Amino acid sequence: MALHSSSIDLDFDRRHLWHPYTSITAPLPVYPVCGASDVFLELEDGRRLVDGMSSWWAAIHGYNHPVLNRAIVTQLQRMSHVMFGGLTHEPAVTLAKQLVALTPEPLQKLFFSDSGSVAVEVAIKMALQYWAALGQTPKNRLLTVRSGYHGDTFAAMSVCDPVTGMHSLFKGVMPEHYFAEAPAPRFYEPCQEEDMADLRQRLERHHREIAAVIIEPIVQGAGGMRFYSPHYLCRLRELCDDYKVLLIFDEIATGFGRTGKMFALEHAAVVPDILCVGKALTGGYMTLAATLTTETVAEAICSGNPGLFMHGPTFMANPLACAVASANIRLLCSYDWQAAVQRLEFGLRQGLEPCRDSCNVADVRVLGGIGVVELHHPVDMGIIQKQFVDKGVWVRPFGRLVYLMPPYIIRDKELIQLTTAVCDVVESIS
């Protein structure tokens, strides 16, 4: 890559800027992007990459979309931001109405925050304040499953997989919670009683201390890209009810159609007590997330001491973010997005299936707009990233996982370019 020809000061970037999960003393190269439109990222050296990542689940309608651009420009000319304490505005109320209408009926009360991790913090606080308000102060721990990922802030991190989720690094500082085995039955498999045994035993033993179970419904994302059985969620809901424990669904990655349903919880028709959404909420334009809960939880929180929900970020319900999120949801609902995601699923299945023949590959799995090729060994990021860029695609593997979640608007030609690149690169690993 011709780093020296960039008008972006890449040398400054390398010396001063941290990128996600990187060393600042020995950074891998980063690729300077000067534009993005439709499903393409435009590199400074003129190359155009087909985007296979939707900027980490977010850009479901691709980039530079005229409808989303218009929404944000129109809002910008009215006001870009005002504090949400003591004030309100149309973009927040409109978006809240859309989210309440789109999510299961009992989820009526909503809190906006700035990122997915914060939405998870808010969800955890809601669960803790709920039990405290009911006088059940010992209920202040969480139960979750292994292979989960919920974000990088402290409370969110404390419910990520304990092995891959930095727990040893922050031991003694981070709250310690209970972990059950990761859901074993795959998406199309039934869930047997023994599949729930570990979780049930932990609930049986510790339910008096457990405020909530938190889980990513159907798809465990950054913790392993695992797809599990909807029946597991049905059983989980029953167990939470039996043991008087709240259920939190983290749909930050899966929300807004990615799994083929508007929300992954619809595969199981299970309603949580608290739901987190983010990422694709704004179509990838701005950072915004929301935590929804039921009247029961909200009323209990506000009946206790101090009678308030104790959170309030500076940029809460940012009008630009709310306006673009609102336009993004309208856009999503204006076309047959289910057909688009089905077409994506079909293309990913067909295109990635040949990877199975490679001796480097342990598994290939596809659900909705998510295609995963699991390898036997972790990739060398420096090498594999360049190989993908050289093939004109943007694919960012992690560990043993090479995965695609392209924008829903991708055409067959570019989808084939993505899946062919994955098959070729995976096959070439020596």
Ligand X SMILES: Cc1ncc(COP(=O)(O)O)c(C=O)c1O
Stretch that binds ligand X, among 65-73, 143-151, 351-359, 378-386 (CB under 6 A): 143-151
By CB under 6 A, residue 253 contacts ligand X: yes
Rounded to a whole number of angstroms, the minimum distance from the CB of residue 249 to ligand X is 10
By CB under 6 A, residue 222 contacts ligand X: yes
63 catalytically annotated: no
By CB under 6 A, residue 250 contacts ligand X: yes
Quote the CA–CA distance of 305 and 317 in Å, as a whole number. 25
Q: Per the residue annotation, which of 31, 63, 130, 149 is the catalytic one?
A: 149
285 catalytically annotated: no
- Alpha-carbon separation of residue 247 from 136, 210, 213, 244 (angstroms): 16, 11, 5, 10
By CB under 6 A, residue 252 contacts ligand X: yes
By CB under 6 A, residue 161 contacts ligand X: no
Q: Is 331 helix (H, G, I), strand (E, B) or coil?
A: helix
Selected from 117, 147, 282, 294, the binder of ligand X by CB under 6 A is: 117
Rounded to a whole number of angstroms, the minimum distance from the CB of residue 411 to ligand X is 26
Going by C-alpha positions, the residue among 66, 73, 71, 72 that lies closest to residue 38 is 66
- Bond prior to 306 in cis (omega within 30° of 0): yes
Residue reference for tokens 């304990």: 162
DSSP 354-405: GGGGSTTEEEEEEETTEEEEEESS---HHHHHHHHHHTTEE---BTTEEEE-
Q: Per the residue annotation, which of 178, 279, 285, 403 is the catalytic one?
A: 279
* H and E: helices and strands count for the chain: 13, 16
Identify which of residues 133 and 222 has a Cβ nearer to ligand X in the complex. 222
Can you give the C-alpha Rg of the chain in angstroms?
Answer: 22
Pairing of strands 178-180, 210-215: unpaired
149 catalytically annotated: yes
Identify which of residues 120 and 340 has a Cβ nearer to ligand X in the complex. 120
Identify which of residues 115 and 318 has a Cβ nearer to ligand X in the complex. 115
By CB under 6 A, residue 92 contacts ligand X: no
Buried b (16+ CB within 10 A) or exposed e, 121-159: bbbbbbbbbbbbbeeeeebebbbbbbbbbbbbeebbbbb
214 strand-pairing partners: 248
- Alpha-carbon separation of residue 177 from 156, 205, 386 (angstroms): 11, 13, 39
C-beta separation of 387 from 425 below 8 A: yes
Identify which of residues 221 and 284 has a Cβ nearer to ligand X in the complex. 221
Identify which of residues 195 and 216 has a Cβ nearer to ligand X in the complex. 216
Stretch that binds ligand X, among 113-121, 199-207, 331-339, 408-416 (CB under 6 A): 113-121
Stretch that binds ligand X, among 145-153, 197-205, 326-334, 370-378 (CB under 6 A): 145-153
One symbol per residue from 31 to 70: x for binding ligand X (CB under 6 A), - otherwise; what is it? Answer: -------------------------x--------------
Identify which of residues 222 and 348 has a Cβ nearer to ligand X in the complex. 222
By CB under 6 A, residue 121 contacts ligand X: no
Quote the CA–CA distance of 301 and 109 in Å, as a whole number. 12
Contacting residues for 106 by C-beta, under 8 A, at least 6 apart: 271, 294, 295, 296
Q: What are 294's two structure tokens? A: 């039921």
Q: Per the residue annotation, which of 51, 114, 195, 250 is the catalytic one?
A: 250
Rounded to a whole number of angstroms, the minimum distance from the CB of residue 103 to ligand X is 16
Rounded to a whole number of angstroms, the minimum distance from the CB of residue 224 to ligand X is 12
Selected from 278, 351, 406, 407, the binder of ligand X by CB under 6 A is: 278
What letter does residue 150 receive in the DSSP assignment? -
By CB under 6 A, residue 224 contacts ligand X: no
188 catalytically annotated: no
Identify which of residues 268 and 429 has a Cβ nearer to ligand X in the complex. 268
Contact positions vs ligand X (CB under 6 A): 56, 115-117, 120, 149-151, 216, 221-222, 250, 252-253, 278
Active-site positions read 21, 149, 250, 279
